[in-house]
Amino acid sequence: MIDFEVPASIQQQVQVVTTLAQSMMRPVARHYDEHEHEKPSDYINVLWEFTKAQTADTLRRAERQAAAGDKQPGRPSIANLALIYTIEALSWGDAGIYLCTPTGGLGGAAVEAVGTLEQKRRLLQRFAEGKPKWGAMAITEPGAGSDTASLQTTARREGDHWVLNGEKIFCTSGLMAAQESEGFVVVWATIDKAAGRAGIKPFVVEAGTPGMKVTKVEKKLGIRASDTASLVFEDCRIPLDNILGSAEVRDAATSKGFEGVMQTFDASRPAVAASAIGVGRAAFEFARDELAKVGVVVPYGLPRHKLTAVQRDLLDMEAQLKAAWLLVLRAVWLADQRRPNTLEASMAKAKAGLAVTRVTQKAVELLGPLGYSRQLLVEKWMRDAKINDIFEGTGQINTLIVARRVLGYSRQELK
C-alpha cells in the first residue's frame, strides 16, 4: 500500500533543490527564454554533481538486482519517488533550464529499461564521472509521430557493425547528446520492415560517430533553453554490441524490441507529468499570491456556491494539480515496487498534461493584461506548459492507451 508520508531523505533533497530553483533558476528564467539555446553553464555544473551521485546509485541498484537473479524481486526502492520530487521542484524553478540538466535522459532510461548489465556499466558509468554530458533518445520521424510502429529508419548488419540510415526529428537534447564528448543517442530503427513492431530495436550511437549529423535545432514556443534537434543517419556504422537487447526478430507478443520503447515510456511518462505539475504549481502559486495582495483569498471549507468565481477558479486549479500528482505518485510507487505501471504512467501523463495547460492558461486569464505581459513569468509558464501535453505521447495517445487497458481492447480493436 502507498505510504503518503514523504521520507525524510526526500524532504531534505526537495529543500535543497527548491533553494537552487529559487536562487539559480528563477532569476535567469527570462534571460534563457529570450536567448534560445544559450546554455545555463552555472546550473549545468551544479546539477552535474547531483547527476553523478544519482547515476552511481542507479548502477549499484543494477548490480544488486543482477546478483539477486531473476527469481528474486529485489527490495523496493524510493529512487523513482525521489526523482519525481526533484523534477517537480526543478520545473517549478524553470522547465527549460531543467531540461538542460546533464543526464542520460531518455537515452539513459532506455539503457536502464532494456540494456544488459554490461551495457549499463559501459554506458551509464560515464554519467558518474568526468565532465557534464548528455544522453538522448531518437524515435520520432517526419512520417512517424504518435504511430511509432511505422518508423522507417533502418539498421542492417554488415560484418561486425550495424549500419543505420534514416532521419529523426524532435529529439530532446539531441544536439548536446550527439556532439558533446561521451554523449550518446539511442536510436530506434527496424532491422526487418516485414516484421512490423517486432523488427524495431534500439541502437546506441556515440557522440561524434561518422554518419550521424545534426541537421536542425528547433526554435520553439516554450522550454526554449532546451535543444530539440533533427538528426540524419547516413551509413552510420556502430559496433554490434551497441544494440540494446537481442537482435532476434520474434512475434510482436514476445518481442523485446518495441516493448523496450514502451518500458522506456513507462519510466519517463511519470517524470514528464511531474515536470508539468511543477510548471503548473509555479503559475498557480504566483496567481494565488498576487490575488491575495488585493484581498482575493480562498476560504477553504466553504461550499462552492458561497465562493466568488475567482475563488472557485483558484480552488479548481489547485485540485487539478493535486489530482494529477496523486496519479504520478501511484505510477512511481509501482515502478519502485518493480511492478508493471503502463496504465498508471499513461494516466499520470494524460492528466498532468491537461491540468498544466488549463492551470497556466487560467493564471494568465486571472491576472489579465499583466498575465499576458512579458513583465511577469506567467505567460512563459503557459508557453512552457503546452509541450507536456505533446511529448512522451500526446494526451490523445495516452488516453487511448488508458482506454485499451481499462476496457481490455487490443491495439487493433481500438485505434
CB 171 within 8 A of CB 140: yes
242, 265, 289 — which closes off a domain?
242
Please indicate, yes or no, if residue 132 is contained in any of the structural domains.
yes
Q: Average of pLDDT values for 241-252?
A: 80
pLDDT band with cut points at 50, 70 and 90 for residue 256: low
How many angstroms separate the CA atoms of 393 and 415, rounded?
15
The answer to whether residues 262 and 379 belong to one domain is: yes
pLDDT of residue 247: 84
Place of cell 499570491: 289
Structure pTM? Answer: 0.93
**CB-CB neighbours of 85 under 10 Å:** 24
> Is the pLDDT reported for residue 253 higher than 50?
no
Q: Let me know if residue 283 belongs to a domain.
A: yes
Q: Are residues 232 and 111 in the same domain?
A: yes
Apex 356 CA angle, 309 and 400, nearest 5: 115
Distance (Å, rounded) from C-alpha 133 to C-alpha 101?
9
Where residue 318 sits, what CATH number does that domain have? 1.20.140.10
Classify the C-alpha dihedral 327-329-331-337 as positive or negative.
negative
Residue with C-alpha cell 484581498? 295
Is 326 a member of any domain? yes
Do 264 and 168 share a domain, yes or no? no
Residues 204, 266, single domain; the answer is no
The DSSP secondary-structure symbol of 393 reads: S
| 36 catalytic per annotation | no
From 181, 207, 242, the end of a domain falls on 242
Residue 357 lies in a domain: yes
pLDDT tier at 4, thresholds 50, 70, 90 = confident
DSSP letter assigned to residue 127 = G
- Domain final residue, candidates 242, 268, 295: 242
**Model confidence over 281-321: pLDDT tens digits?**
999 999 999 999 999 999 999 999 999 999 999 999 999 99
What pLDDT, on the 0 to 100 scale, is given for residue 412? 84
Task: Assess if residue 214 is contained within a domain.
Answer: yes
Cα–Cα distance between 92 and 280 in angstroms, integer? 8
Which residues in 371-385 are b (16+ Cβ under 10 Å) and which e? beeeebbbbbbbbbb
The three cell numbers of residue 208 are: 561524434
Return d(Cα 201, Cα 114) in angstroms, integer.
10
Question: What are 392's three cell numbers?
Answer: 512522451
Residue 341 belongs to domain spanning: 257-407
Judge if 125 and 95 occupy the same domain: yes
Query: How many CB atoms lie under 10 A from the CB of residue 236?
Result: 24
292 occurs within a structural domain:
yes
**The CATH number of the domain where 204 resides is what?**
2.40.110.10
**Is 1 part of any domain?**
no
Instruction: Provide the terminal-to-terminal Cα distance of the chain, rounded to the nearest Å.
Output: 34
Q: What total of structural domains would you count in the chain?
A: 2
For residue range 99-150, list pLDDT tens digits in order. 999 999 999 999 988 899 999 999 999 999 999 999 999 999 998 877 777 8
Please give the pLDDT value at position 75.
Answer: 63
Three-state DSSP at 81 gives: helix
Are 181 and 266 contained in the same domain? Answer: no
Stretch 263-283: mean pLDDT, rounded?
94
Task: Tell the burial category of 192 from Cβ atoms under 10 Å away from its Cβ (0-12, 13-18, 19+).
Answer: middle
In a domain, 152, yes or no: yes
Cα 278 to Cα 95, 356, 360, distances in angstroms: 8, 9, 11
pLDDT in the model for residue 70? 52
pLDDT at 254: 45
- Residues contacting 232, CB < 8 A, separation 6+: 166, 167, 168, 212, 213, 215
| Catalytic one of 88, 167, 218, 392 | 392
265 or 404: which leads in pLDDT: 404
Of the candidates 323, 398, 391, the residue with the CA atom closest to the CA atom of residue 358: 323
The percent of residues above 90 in pLDDT, for the chain, comes to 82
Cα–Cα distance between 415 and 413 in angstroms, integer?
A: 7
Neighbours of 20 (CB within 10 A): 17
Residue 162 and residue 98 in one domain: yes
Query: Do both 24 and 81 map to the same domain?
Result: yes
Please state which of the ranges 91-100, 339-348, 406-415 shows the lowest mean pLDDT.
406-415
C-alpha cell at 15: 529543500
150 and 42, same domain (yes or no) = yes
Residue ranges in 293-341 assigned as alpha helix (H): 309-336
Cell numbers at 249, concatenated: 526478430
The answer to whether residues 349 and 272 touch, using CB atoms and an 8 Å cutoff, is: yes
Q: Are residues 48 and 111 in the same domain?
A: yes
Same domain for 151 and 222, yes or no, is: yes
Give 75 or 201, the one with higher predicted confidence: 201
The answer to whether residues 156 and 305 belong to one domain is: no
Q: Are 239 and 118 in contact (CB under 8 A)?
A: no
Contact (CB, 8 A) for 258 and 149: yes
What percentage of the chain exceeds 70 in pLDDT? 95
Mean pLDDT of the residues in the chain? 92
Of 100, 102, 123, the closest CA to residue 111 belongs to 123
